[in-house]
Amino acid sequence: MKKLVLKNISKRFGKVVAVNNAELEIEDQEFIVLVGPSGCGKTTTLRMVAGLETVDEGEIYINDRLVNHLPPKNRDIAMVFQNYALYPHMNVYQNLAFGLRMRKIPKAEREPKVIEAARILGIEELLERKPRQLSGGQRQRVALGRAIVRNPEVFLFDEPLSNLDAKLRVQMRTELKKLHKRLEATSVYVTHDQVEAMTMGDRIIVMKDGTIQQIGSPSDLYYKPQNRFVAGFIGSPTMNFLPCRILEADSQLYIETGDFRLPLLDHFADKVRERGDSKFILGIRPEDIREKKSVQPSSFGGSIKAQINVTEILGKEVFLDLTTGENTLSALISAEPEENLGQEIELEVNLARIHLFSADNGNAII
Amino acid sequence: MLTKLIFEFKRLSFRSVLYLCGATLVVFCGIPLIWMLFTSLKPLEVLFSYPPAIFSHYTLSNFKRLFTDTYFLVYLKNSIVVAGTTVILDIVIATFGAYSLTRFRFVGKELLASLTLFTYMFAPIMIIIPVYVLLNDLGLTDSHLGIILAYTSISLPFTLWLLRAFFQSFPIDLEEAAFIDGANRFQSLVWVVIPQALPGIIATSVFAFVVVWNDFLFARVLLTSTHLKTMPIGLQDIYESTIVDWGLLMSAAVIVSIPALIFFLTIQKFLIKGWGMGAVKG
């Protein structure tokens, strides 16, 4: 069953188009993440679903019911805000119970629901406290509790973890995911953090300038980005982009960047030939580059000679910032290279994982 | 060591000067009040004796005469009724008005907000005649309703402006959270916004109360019947009807001060919080 459907919705603020013709179908119990840079329209989309913004064009359905003109209270949704938005003058119990009280649920029924929500989130001993007496993580739990206590049709999360410190954020990420499994609730989660998106979403929607760029599973977005923006936005460190041309020699196609040349695998070659263009943008993820001296047989090939600018040891991997002629390149390799800073290193590329984008519109070709 | 001593000396001298200034200010403001209290507790005969009899001849006779021989209690009751009703009316209207000025989008919103403050720039003496004519046409002169409406209209622009600043600094997320939680706009106002804005509302109500409680001009022009008069003009009547009975007058002044004093002491906590809030964010 489709739980939440957005049909060609648009939103303008004056002349600025915040959301442009967004189309989306969310299944029951799905965890959807809306991700994109600031100002991409993700929060506006969420707020339109919540009923906090009006929809200029298009339709929103929750459980097959058109909700465009319903106030937030009649949409049966719950929302967790970035800054928690706990009522400062109420204690935790009153904060949790407020939604039930507004919905005229009798006091006797309210109490077990509040206690249950508090139990799930481990905040039973905080019920008497005021929000200002809680830590960031505890406030976050109360905000979550306020959402789950009503058992709504759809949960909306507006960057709920961005105010927490890095460690707590990772912990809460896992907890949120567990909570989602447990409650089997349909969730729409907004974040600008691609790591959060990749780790939490069943499906991810990448937005830019009000337009949906791609909808897909985390691995779809990572391995098959539909355009240069998605390729650059998903993945850390960011994908390397190099302008390139396609050359043919001895019926073999090559990608020529000016600094190095990579052979194009046969199954990619057909797609490139179909295009007929010769100018492209080459995309290589840093983790698809390794030192030439690695001997395991694989789809790695080609040869890039690059100068090492910076070496960062990340633990299991080593990050290299490199220069190849006119371009800079980043690589994640498995061990610290023997070469020193400023020296030249020879690298190869996983040819099965390279990406080519149209130089005109940035759309993916392979 | 020496620098530490110098630093300590400077710190102490700064503090001493500060406290000295504070003490001077307290004495300056306090002496007339203390003298008022003394005078109210002395019989007429010893009021002008020299040297002043500070530690003897205390009596409550002035207060007794005030309550029995004058209309003081009537004036007091009128003042409380008029000031109380005005404050309630003022705050209710200003709360809704300020809320709508900060939360709804409509054409001319900013202009409207500025114009309300503009009306406050006219001195009361300038508007008293038009107000009188208006109320006279409505048949509301010499009535509590008339003076309450007049007071509300003169204090409303400023209270509206003050509350607008409070509401502007109020995070809209909390209201949105209330909407999502199932509240309508009125419920979110009552359950979430007003409890938060309470320091601001109280600070504003103090302002309105003080304006009304102390007003002489409007009461003098609009009220003529003795049984309707408020304290400031009532006091003047006592003053006029006696051959400057200082004891009686001062005992009346003491009683006039008490409600204001109690009011300020009780809401002092909120007042400071509210002023601070307005100062930083408004």
List of residues 6+ apart from B207 with CB closer than 8 A: B155, B158, B159, B162
Q: Which residues of A touch B193 (CB under 8 A)?
A: none
Question: Do B232 and B172 share a structural domain?
Answer: yes
Total tally of structural domains belonging to chain B = 2
Q: Which residues of B touch A81 (CB under 8 A)?
A: 173, 176-177
Question: Do A129 and A146 share a structural domain?
Answer: yes
| ipTM exceeding cut-off 0.90 for this assembly | no
Residue A328 belongs to a domain:
yes
Q: Which of B170, B173, B181, B198 to mutate to test the interface with A (most CBs of A within 10 A)?
A: B181
Q: Which residues of B touch A72 (CB under 8 A)?
A: 176, 179-180
Question: Do A313 and A195 share a structural domain?
Answer: no
Any CB–CB contact under 8 A between B45 and chain A? no
Contact A254, A248 (CB under 8 A): yes
**pLDDT tens track for B126-162:** 889 999 999 999 999 899 999 999 999 888 988 998 8
Q: Which of A198, A233, A268 is the last residue of a domain?
A: A233
> Residue B121 carries which side chain, given as an amino acid letter?
M
Beta-strand pair A57-62/A211-216: unpaired
Which residue range forms the structural domain that includes residue B18?
A: 2-40
Question: Do A286 and A146 share a structural domain?
Answer: no
Residue B263 belongs to a domain:
yes
**B residues 194-223 closer than 8 Å to A (CB):** 195-196
Contact: B181, A73; criterion CB under 8 Å: yes
Residue keyed to tokens 């003491």: B254
Crossing angle (nearest 10°) for helices A92-102 and A136-148: 20
What pLDDT does residue B55 have? Answer: 74
Q: Which residues of A touch B196 (CB under 8 A)?
A: 88-89
**pLDDT tens track for A142-180:** 999 999 998 898 999 999 998 888 888 888 899 899 989
Instruction: Determine the Cα–Cα distance for residues B233 and B229; give it in Å rounded to an integer.
Output: 7
Question: Do A256 and A213 share a structural domain?
Answer: no
Q: Residue A364 pairs with which residues in a beta bridge? A: A357
Question: Do A216 and A257 share a structural domain?
Answer: no
Which residue range forms the structural domain that includes residue A81?
A: 2-233
What pLDDT does residue B280 have? Answer: 34
What pLDDT does residue A294 have? Answer: 67
% of chain A exceeding 90 in pLDDT? 69
Measured in angstroms, the CA of A175 and the nearest CA of chain B are apart by 22
Measured in angstroms, the CA of A146 and the nearest CA of chain B are apart by 8
Q: Which of A62, A98, A142 to mutate to test the interface with B (most CBs of B within 10 A)?
A: A98
Task: Choose between B32 and B282: higher pLDDT.
Answer: B32
Q: Which residues of B touch A160 (CB under 8 A)?
A: none
pLDDT band, residue B44 (cuts 50/70/90): confident
The gap from C-alpha A265 to its chain's centroid, in whole angstroms, comes to 30
Question: Do A45 and A118 share a structural domain?
Answer: yes
**pLDDT tens track for B186-226:** 999 999 988 888 888 888 888 888 889 888 999 999 988 88
Question: Do A48 and A192 share a structural domain?
Answer: yes
Nearest CA in chain B to A145: B181
The overall average pLDDT reported for chain B is 85
Q: Residue A327 pairs with which residues in a beta bridge? A: A324
Question: Do B158 and B22 share a structural domain?
Answer: no
Measured in angstroms, the CA of A72 and the nearest CA of chain B are apart by 5
